[in-house]
Amino acid sequence: MKKDLLKMDDLSKEEILDILNLADQLKYELKHDIAHAHLKGKTLGMIFEKSSTRTRVSFEVGMYQLGGNGLFLSSRDLQIGRGEPVQDTARVLSRFLNGIMIRTFKQKEVETLAKYSSIPIINGLTDDEHPCQVLADLMTIREYKNTIEGLKVAYIGDGNNMAQSLMIGTLKTGMNFSIACPPDYTPKQEYILRAKELAEKEGTKFVITDSPKEAAMDADVLITDVWASMGQEGEAEIRKKAFKGFQINDELMGKAHSDAIVLHCLPAHRGEEITNEVIEAHQNEVFDEAENRLHAQKAVLVKLMK
């Protein structure tokens, strides 16, 4: 039976740790020129309805390093962009490819693609979820802290796809999670309820607040994202006013542990959700995090497509 990665909650704690362990191994092998052509002769179709830097490059390079091929498929070039039903596209591409990664807007489109395909589907980003980024974040946290169990992660900003996937991924792996966002920009209620359920199950803490200082208190990791994501450009000025005070800066860093790390999925709007000073002071973590997209996604590809 095929396995997909559509949302963070598709993975159990054990599966997440298994992916992280394999990602560490693949990273080590790459750094030491040890070939790992686990997907020799296999092809990943990569559908992009949203523009991308890190997602496209990391998946395409990752497939090459695994001995396979990454095929870029723009929605402008596919019949799906001209109104072909998703289920028909899924059935056709299943005959040609060994897996599909899709970066799009609606979560439902990814789920429909998975329902009608006979090959693994990977969510490269939707408006609801960004599981591949969160796996890279967890990998980075573990590299810097040597553990993830029991740490406190504080997310400051918009309750968007990153926040929602982070809530699930951190709490599921035994971390404490606090999120600070303006009242009108909280995560979806279904994610909040699931986060509370996971915290109770794992014996960890989940806090949602409108106070960045409360969220950042004694944090081991601080994370943020842009205030206006793709498709929300028209709301940028309104959001700037709503998110005033929800910035990772030196003052907020003072509430966290002195050895706290900072992560950002990029691209960053310096001077908005994070100051230039903070991101430069923590650029090692941020760009290790970006690199780890490659290693974490290669582990996902091997687990789903080998």
194 catalytic residue (yes or no)? no
List the one residue out of 50, 179, 59, 188 whose CA is nearest residue 125. 50
Catalytically annotated residue among 65, 133, 247, 297: 133
103 catalytic residue (yes or no)? yes
Catalytically annotated residue among 4, 137, 220, 225: 225
Binding site for carbamoyl phosphate: what residues are annotated? Answer: 52-55, 79, 103, 130-133, 265-266, 293
**Burial profile 201-221: b = 16 or more Cβ within 10 angstroms, e = fewer:** ebebebbbebebeebbbebbb
The amino acid present at 275, given as its one-letter code, is T
225 catalytic residue (yes or no)? yes
Catalytically annotated residue among 38, 103, 142, 295: 103
295 catalytic residue (yes or no)? no
The structure tokens listed for 49 are 């309805």
* Distance of alpha carbon 303 from alpha carbon 22, whole angstroms: 9
128 catalytic residue (yes or no)? no
* Alpha helices by DSSP H, the chain: 13-31, 54-65, 86-96, 107-116, 131-145, 161-172, 189-202, 212-216, 236-242, 250-253, 276-281, 283-305
Catalytically annotated residue among 4, 38, 130, 264: 130
82 catalytic residue (yes or no)? no
Task: Could you list the beta-strand ranges (E) of 39-86.
Answer: 43-48, 69-74
Binding site for L-ornithine: what residues are annotated? Answer: 161, 225, 229-230
Binding site: what residues are annotated? Answer: 52-55, 79, 103, 130-133, 161, 225, 229-230, 265-266, 293
The two beta strands, 121-125 and 221-224, are: unpaired
For residue 73, give the DSSP letter.
E
SS3 26: helix
Catalytically annotated residue among 265, 282, 295, 297: 265
* Distance of alpha carbon 278 from alpha carbon 92, whole angstroms: 47
* Distance of alpha carbon 206 from alpha carbon 172, whole angstroms: 11
Q: Which residues are catalytic?
A: 103, 130, 133, 225, 265, 293
